[in-house]
Amino acid sequence: MGKVICIGLGPGDPDLMSLRAHRLLTTAPVIAYFRKAGRLGQARRIVDGLIPAEAEEWPMEYPVTTEVPFSDPAYGAALAPFYDSWSRRLTEQARKTDVIVLCEGDPFLYGSFMHLHSRLPAGLVEVVPGIPGMAGCWTATGQPITWGDDVLTVVPATLPESELRRRAQDTDALVVMKIGRNLAKLHRALAAAGRLADAWLVENGTMPTERVRPLREVEGEIPYFAIALVHGRGRRP
């Protein structure tokens, strides 16, 4: 009897993975990971060279990703049976051996694994936390994200523009995830909130392709794993 164990891989640099996650990964009989069809997948890329030669690999290919808006009923209609099917397969395997599921960052922070977690039998699942991707990104800017009594707000850029503006106005420090095609909308929202001049964009934080730029200078398409940051300026001694 085994378990379905989701391990948080941290922000991208494999050296930032926890010792427990590394131990489970390097002794795993079966390893599953999400990816877009035709791609290696970010989680799989992070652990390249660490997977045991004898381990089985199970790529879980999304039937749909960003090509369909999240608000479109077709998005949920495609993903629900995908998660149903994989939760059944993982459960069946876990009755024989452990199955390690890879997750970038922390599994319970905007991670796809949460949709499997809600479907898996409670006694058959375990989660190993990881450093969130946002932590790697704000470290890359060389500035603390919060000071003293600063309030930190985390939002997805998929929110309506008016909501992004309100959240930016009402907080001290801000983290914006899931930017991708929402860059222009985010620009407008932060400009309207008076926060664009203080915003940074970090692409592929802690990875070899890491890039840090003032958000106001960024145009066009950016990686899905880019994160925008507005640092707090709160109480200091």
Query: CATH classification of 4-131, choosing from 3.40.1010.10, 3.40.50.2300, 3.60.20.30, 3.40.50.300?
Result: 3.40.1010.10
Write down the pLDDT at residue 229. Answer: 98
Tell me the per-residue pLDDT of 56-88, one tens digit each, with 9 for 90 and over: 999 999 998 776 777 778 778 889 999 999 999
Q: Report the alpha-carbon distance of residue 154 to residue 84 in Å, rounded.
A: 29
Contact 102, 17 (CB under 8 A): no
Write down the pLDDT at residue 69. Answer: 72
Three-state secondary-structure class, residue 223: coil
Answer yes or no: CATH 3.30.950.10 is held by domain 134-230: yes
Please provide residue 24's backbone torsions phi and psi, each rounded to the nearest 5 degrees: -65, -40
| Upper half-sphere CA count for residue 71 (Cβ side, 13 Å) | 3
Tell me the per-residue pLDDT of 4-35, one tens digit each, with 9 for 90 and over: 999 999 999 999 999 999 999 999 999 999 99
Domain residues of the chain, as ranges? 4-131, 134-230
Contact 28, 4 (CB under 8 A): no
Write down the pLDDT at residue 10. Answer: 97
Q: Which amino acid type is present at position 67?
A: E
Write down the pLDDT at residue 205. Answer: 95
Query: Along the 237 residues of the chain, how does pLDDT read in single tens digits?
Result: 899 999 999 999 999 999 999 999 999 999 999 999 989 999 999 999 999 999 999 999 999 877 677 777 877 888 999 999 999 999 999 999 999 999 999 999 999 999 999 999 999 999 999 999 999 999 999 999 999 999 999 999 999 999 999 999 999 999 999 998 899 999 999 999 999 999 999 999 999 999 999 999 999 888 877 999 999 999 888
